[in-house]
Amino acid sequence: MRRRVHVSLRTTIMSLTAWLFFLPACFALNMAPGPNNLLSINVAARHGFMRALVGGTGRLVAFAAMIALAATGLAFVLRASEAIFFAIKLAGAAYLVWLAVQLWRSDAAPIGMIEHDATLARIARRECLVAAGNPKAILVFTAFLPQFVDVAKPMLPQFGVLGASFLVLECVAIALYSLAGMYLGRWLTRESVRRWFNRACGAFLGAIGVSFLLVRRA
């Protein structure tokens, strides 16, 4: 009986080897300096580690939804429809450019000062919207994750393992980038430095937003 249960588990869950190959490749994607990680650095530098860490979990909502989308097979629509994919690219690019303009025009408030747009709810919502409008993230979940799925086994449990692993590693990435931003904040005691820091972050976000339009479906 015990042997049958063990065999059943092996036939329904992905292999350990595939999972161990997945982890380092996935963590490299989590740590890539994308728009969400750049936001974590900026928020931590301006408002502290905990605000960036907790607010950064807003992106997990968007990523969890994308994983569920891929697992249920609806991601096929995004991969098959050029119009839908282009609409997501356009919305994501427009939102990032808007954020870039807001950062560029920021009044460089003192570090630690709570601004009207620095509440946890607003930060989390911003992280969620940036993640949801990132076509590169969509490609990760519709093209990268399926590479580690064994089609001979039930797919939902495998997507569950891969998705949970991705979200855990994303939490680690949020913490590391927030930590980096916190230490960077020590250098931002001068108003002129803070202003140029915000403008640099805004310029990078704007460049990333424009690059979204160059993303092609696999």
Whether residue 129 is contained in a domain is answered as yes
Q: Of the spans 47-51, 58-62, 209-213, which averages the highest pLDDT?
A: 58-62
Q: What's the average model confidence in pLDDT over 155-179? A: 92
Whether residue 189 is contained in a domain is answered as yes
DSSP 109: P
| Confidence check: pLDDT of 167 > 90 | yes
Kindly report, residue by residue over 66-99, the tens digit of the pLDDT: 888 888 875 566 566 677 667 767 776 787 788 7
Whether residue 151 is contained in a domain is answered as yes
Orientation of helix 35-47 relative to helix 155-185, angle to 10°: 40
Whether residue 196 is contained in a domain is answered as yes
> By percentage, how much of the chain surpasses pLDDT 90?
22
DSSP 190: S
* Contact (CB, 8 A) for 176 and 31: yes
Kindly report, residue by residue over 8-57, the tens digit of the pLDDT: 445 456 778 888 888 988 888 888 778 898 889 889 988 889 999 999 99
Whether residue 102 is contained in a domain is answered as yes
pLDDT of residue 110: 45
pLDDT of residue 42: 87
CA 143, 77, 60, 175 torsion-angle sign: positive
Which pLDDT band, with edges at 50, 70 and 90, does 112 fall under? very low
Whether residue 152 is contained in a domain is answered as yes
pLDDT of residue 218: 52
Whether residue 217 is contained in a domain is answered as no
| Confidence check: pLDDT of 2 > 70 | no
**SS3 breakdown of the chain: % helix, strand, coil, rounded to 5?**
80, 0, 20
The two tokens of residue 159 are: 């997507």
d(CA 154, CA 142): 17
Residue whose C-alpha is closest to residue 40's, from 29, 54, 27: 54
* Contact (CB, 8 A) for 130 and 95: yes
DSSP 74: T
Rg of the chain over CA atoms, in angstroms?
19
Residue 106's domain spans which residues?
2-212
pLDDT of residue 217: 55
Indicate the residue type of 94: A
Number of structural domains (the chain) is: 1
Residue whose C-alpha is closest to residue 134's, from 197, 63, 187: 63
> By percentage, how much of the chain surpasses pLDDT 70?
73
Whether residue 25 is contained in a domain is answered as yes
